[in-house]
């Protein structure tokens, strides 16, 4: 589904990604771990189409299409979702308005009919209940006044509502207490299907105990240094990145 080949990316004239190659097939869940400054969030921003990130070599295909040739909103309509490491606040725009506008904009680009208000609210109530989100919270501005955990639950809610093909979740476990971590992990697991794929970026093995990826990759200095099964995350937890390099 997602194929990254020899990707080189520079930011402000400094090369961050230095020949990264990675493939994630439909039905798979992969995780990327790595020290600060390894390029993990840079990868997320490049795939989502953020300005200021210059691809100097390599390619990225998504469902056989050149992802890098698409504008950010076209990537979203094609089924690509990014969960932010630091979700932004949007004062004056409620979560419900934001989501309904986004969903119908994507449907329009795909040539699909808009979702009715009744159908939208039916889905909202069902998904909010599963994630333990209060309906009053969803009427507030996007992430305005939310705790770190509430922001991540809100992103899990967006993921469930938008139902993309591919979800890249950048440190979705950041700021979560134990209970919130379990709720968000359960939301990710409900999202899993043979037609979808997930790429998790995380510093900690604790999320992977709940989500259980098929492959774990270690990124260091803009490249994938090692790949393996879930046991690789446990090794990192025990030995750190220096132990892996040794």
Domain ranges for the chain, please list them: 2-245
What pLDDT does 76 receive? Answer: 93
For residue 246, pLDDT over 70 is answered with: no
CA–CA dist 50, 17 (Å, integer) = 15
Q: What is the mean pLDDT of the chain?
A: 90
CA–CA dist 214, 210 (Å, integer) = 12
Number of H helices, E strands in the chain: 9, 12
CA–CA dist 106, 114 (Å, integer) = 9
Per-residue pLDDT band for 230 (boundaries 50, 70, 90) equals: confident
pTM recorded for the entire structure: 0.89
Per-residue pLDDT band for 237 (boundaries 50, 70, 90) equals: confident
- 6 φψ region: left (φ > 0), alpha (ψ -120 to 50), beta (else): left
Question: 67 or 233: whose pLDDT is higher?
Answer: 67
What pLDDT does 206 receive? Answer: 84
Q: If you average pLDDT over residues 155-160, what whole number do you get?
A: 90
Q: The domain 2-245 is classified under which CATH number: 3.40.50.300, 3.30.230.10, 1.10.3720.10, 1.10.760.10? A: 3.40.50.300
Eight-state DSSP code of residue 63: T
What pLDDT does 218 receive? Answer: 94
Query: What percentage of the chain reaches a pLDDT higher than 90?
Result: 63
Per-residue pLDDT band for 203 (boundaries 50, 70, 90) equals: confident
């Amino acid at each position: 589904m997602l194929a990254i080949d020899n990707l080189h990316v520079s930011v402000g004239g400094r090369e961050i990604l230095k020949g990264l190659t990675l493939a994630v097939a439909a039905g798979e869940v992969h995780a990327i771990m790595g020290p600060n400054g390894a390029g993990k969030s840079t990868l997320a921003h490049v795939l989502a189409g953020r300005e200021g990130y210059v691809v100097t070599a390599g390619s990225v295909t998504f469902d056989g299409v050149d992802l890098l040739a698409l504008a950010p909103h076209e990537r979203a309509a094609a089924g690509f979702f990014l969960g932010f490491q630091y979700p932004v606040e949007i004062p004056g725009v409620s979560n419900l308005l934001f989501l309904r506008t986004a969903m119908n904009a994507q449907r329009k680009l795909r040539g699909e009919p808009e979702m009715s208000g009744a159908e939208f609210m039916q889905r909202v109530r069902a998904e909010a209940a599963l994630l333990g989100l209060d309906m009053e919270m969803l009427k507030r501005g996007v992430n305005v006044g939310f705790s770190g955990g509430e922001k991540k639950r809100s992103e899990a809610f967006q993921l469930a509502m938008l139902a993309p093909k591919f979800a890249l979740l950048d440190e979705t476990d950041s700021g979560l207490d134990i209970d919130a971590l379990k709720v968000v992990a359960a939301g990710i697991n409900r999202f899993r299907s043979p037609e979808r794929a997930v790429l998790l970026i995380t510093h900690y093995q604790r999320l992977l105990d709940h989500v259980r990826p098929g492959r774990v990759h270690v990124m260091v200095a803009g490249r994938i240094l090692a790949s393996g099964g879930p046991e690789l995350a446990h090794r990192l937890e025990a030995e750190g990145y220096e132990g892996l390099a040794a």
